[in-house]
A and B are shown apart, each in its own frame.
Chain A
Amino acid sequence: MSNSPLTPGVVPGRLPADVLARNFSDHEPPLAAHEARVAADRCYFCHDAPCMTACPTSIDIPLFIRQIATGTPEAAARTILSQNILGGMCARVCPTETLCEEVCVREVAEGKPVEIGRLQRFATDTLMEKGVHPFARAAATGRKVAVVGAGPAGLACAHRLAMKGHDVVIYDARPKAGGLNEYGIAQYKAVGDFAQAEVDWLLRIGGITVKTGMALGREVSLAELQAGHDAVFLGMGLAGVNALRAPGEDLAQVRDAVDFIAELRQAKDKAALPVGRDVVVIGGGMTAVDAAVQSRLLGAETVSIVYRRGQDRMSASGYEQEHATSAGVRIICNAAPVAVHPAGAGVEVEFAYMADGPDGLKPTGETFRLRADQVFKAIGQTLTGAPEGLTVSGGKIAVSGAGRTSVAGVWAGGDCAAGGDDLTVTAVAEGRDAAEDIHATLMAARA
């Protein structure tokens, strides 16, 4: 009758419903009020705190933690959200172990940082659960700004612009707003439809219209946006996926990891999602980890991440790697895909062992094959459909200053823009800073 991890092929329902529910529940449960106070008490309230410097959005971390410690998590949330309007999601998905918590002096001293991410979640959850939106719009400026992409960069930009009194229209290609928060984050990091709840909460500032199903270059052009608005912000992310450039890549068993992750996020019933008995994920970043771990959580028997360079070069943090291995994922390093061969109902992926030398990666001559029912590609995303006329450098929209593109009146930020890490928190910072620059520009033009 029902399937199990041992069922051959790609099938749904490998695990009982209760196990699936547990697997996709909160990866790190929220702090209770008392736990939060105890965790907050560990903060030393450092002078010129390293954590604050490490935060791409420069949240005043010691201050918000002290506000939690003194029983005012709502005030703490304001401190967070005034710098990072998506502080709720960032609390869930930020790789804090490589940002604020990595430089926490208690990490340095004891190997046990203040739990900044969990404390941030405690504060933002408290405020959002009260249904409070703590910001109000300034007097209307009569200016109108188009934002392309309703992901972290676009939302942060739109919110800040709306706060300044501008009217904003967000255009997004997908059916729902949220961008990677909605489609690209592992389920267990954003349970309870948090991404949509956060978007709804954010939009309560007012003055923002969201138009979904509107892709730049498809339903709407940059020229049209420029004509109808006083400024344009591009935050459409990276819609393309890098190719393996290996024969057999077109086989039906080979998929983009981002599609699998998006499908998983949108699936109400995880038991209906098919997953292979043997899964191979190619790549070394967070997308690879999210795809691999979730394959295991769906009941795949064997899941391997294969990365072409050494483990220390993986862009997934040590914490993420450990998360993967503790979920039963095998991480194989120094191996690059050479070909995908059909093998029965599945495939065999042929890998070449690689050596990272002074002249770059070179095959050692040794190869091996991994059987797979599903192969997920997670070797990076690329910019697609950049409007003509914009300077692109290194595969991304070139920007200077606070996200100014080569075209006057057009700004860009987030993953589609050059510079910065491809992180939610970085996208928020770039969107916010571009909004400030747009505001200054529009106001100067009016004066």
Chain B
Amino acid sequence: MADLTSNFLGIRSPNPFWLASAPPTDKEYNVRRAFEAGWGGVVWKTLGSEGPPVVNVSGPRYGAIWGADRRLLGLNNIELITDRPLQTNLDEIRRVKKDYPDRAMIISLMVPCDEESWKDILHRIEDTGADGVELNFGCPHGMAERGMGSAVGQVPEYIQMVTEWVKMYSKLPCIVKLTPNITDIRRPAEAAKRGGADAVSLINTINSITSVNIDSFSPEPMIDGKGTHGGYCGPAVKPIALNMVAEIARSPETRGLPISGIGGVTTWRDAVEFMALGASNVQVCTAAMTYGFKIVQEMISGLSQYMDEKGFASVDEIIGRAVPNVTDWQYLNLNYVTKAHIDQDACIKCGRCYAACEDTSHQAIDMGPGRVFTVKDDECVACNLCVNVCPVENCITMVEMPKGATDPRTGRVVADYANWTSHPNNPMSKAAE
């Protein structure tokens, strides 16, 4: 079986599957059960300053969207940081870490944006035995209204400033958790790096309203007739998170900055995808909240099988493997020509490809007698929509045209690699002149 050992910033864990800072990691009872179930590490639910703890609503904290059979696709929450006394959390962290020395124990922190507050909290956590800190600059609801969480994460200067304080007052590895509620994820990541962060973790949750009750006209989750935006997570946010991770991994300014990948990781495969795009490990929350801690067994077995099949000796071999293949649109090969092909044996004749292409795309599919659907190569622009709407996997595939062949749509011969930067239609073209 493959060696899943993870080493993130010198913090070792038996596997790269950590539980994210969230309700599952709010107390000793949960975290002990998580470690027993096999999780490699946890980021303890965010601690605040000493003093009266925050209070949570006593109505619903979560909203959700579902598939037809109630498969949970996306979850949102308006829960704040831990609402338990600081000392209780500190005592529990110390006890748990002592009993599970091989697991990663990270403490998530969120205190007011002043130097004293950060200095104080860092001092208080010093003797817990924790392996590192994660700065919660991400939560988009509640705490942000008080100038914390994403209110900090949306201002690169604040990120840098606070990170500098943390590095000044603590020797622990510092992970800066980023909010996706920004326009360009590279800016906060650069700020974290400038501030001395050892790593970034992303994404935190996305501002959202999961649904509206169209009888009472209140947003969900609803508290006494009102609702507020909450943080969205779960499978639905994964594509957004993947892109943001990749952007940081491939940016010249932040390349090499370790990343902990978060956002809709539900299966071992999701984890591999995050790692391939540059994450060193992953953090999981919604999947555990949906199915319980046991899912980590599938993640461990799936990753092991994959690594064995690929011959990867270490998870490090996965990290960043797809990053060189993430590029800008302008560098895509405009001479890569494909055509949709429908496997008539696999086709069940539902006609969805036809409806999609005829109504909304390029009228490139013909419907013949007996409901035989065929692609008109002279119309097909290879948009892939038919592939995406076809209910049968691999029934429609995109077949690459060989070099030298003539594309019947354009009448042009398929040529060698060439991209937009040198295209004659590009006014900025740097073509040989």
Contact = CB atoms under 8 A, between A and B. Distances in A.
Contacts of B349: 46, 50, 105, 108
Interface stretch (B90-98, B238-246, B350-358): B350-358
B350 A44 contact: yes
Interface in B326-356: 348-352, 354-355
Contacts of A106: 348
Given A105-B348, A105-B349, A47 B68 contact: no
Given A44-B391, A47-B355, A50-B371, A105 B350 contact: yes
Q: How large is the interface on B (under 10, 10 to 19, 20 to 34, 35 or more residues)?
A: 10 to 19
B69 interface: yes
Nearest to A103: B349
Contacts of A166: none
A69 interface: yes
A292 B349 CA distance: 38
Interface in A21-64: 34, 37-38, 40-41, 44-50
B370 to A, nearest CB: 11
Contacts of B70: 34
Contacts of B391: 44, 109
A38 B67 CA distance: 9
A363 B69 CA distance: 56
Interface string A406-426: 000000000000000000000
Contacts of A37: 68-69
B68 A108 contact: no
Nearest to A45: B352
B348 A40 contact: no
A40 B68 contact: yes
Contacts of A34: 70
A37 B352 CA distance: 21
A92 to B, nearest CB: 25
B354 A109 contact: no
Contact of A46 (B68, B69, B351): B351
A337 B352 CA distance: 52
Given A37-B68, A40-B68, A109 B392 contact: yes
Interface in A196-254: none
Q: Which of A34, A37, A105 has the most CB of B within 10 A?
A: A105
B373 to A, nearest CB: 9
A47 B69 contact: no
A115 to B, nearest CB: 14
Given A37-B68, A38-B68, A38-B69, A47 B348 contact: no
Contacts of A44: 350, 352, 391
B74 to A, nearest CB: 17
Nearest to A108: B348
A34 B71 CA distance: 13
A44 B348 CA distance: 11
Interface string B366-402: 0100010000000000000000000110000000000
B392 A47 contact: no
Contacts of A49: 351
Nearest to A35: B69
Interface of B: 67-70, 348-352, 354-355, 367, 371, 391-392
Given A38-B68, A46-B352, A109-B391, 20 more contacts: A34-B70, A37-B68, A37-B69, A41-B69, A44-B350, A44-B352, A44-B391, A46-B350, A46-B351, A47-B351, A47-B352, A47-B354, A47-B355, A49-B351, A69-B68, A105-B348, A105-B349, A105-B350, A108-B348, A109-B348
| Nearest 3 interchain pairs by C-beta | A47-B351, A41-B68, A47-B355
16 contacts: A34-B70, A37-B68, A37-B69, A38-B68, A38-B69, A41-B69, A46-B350, A47-B355, A48-B351, A50-B349, A50-B371, A69-B68, A105-B348, A105-B349, A109-B348, A109-B391
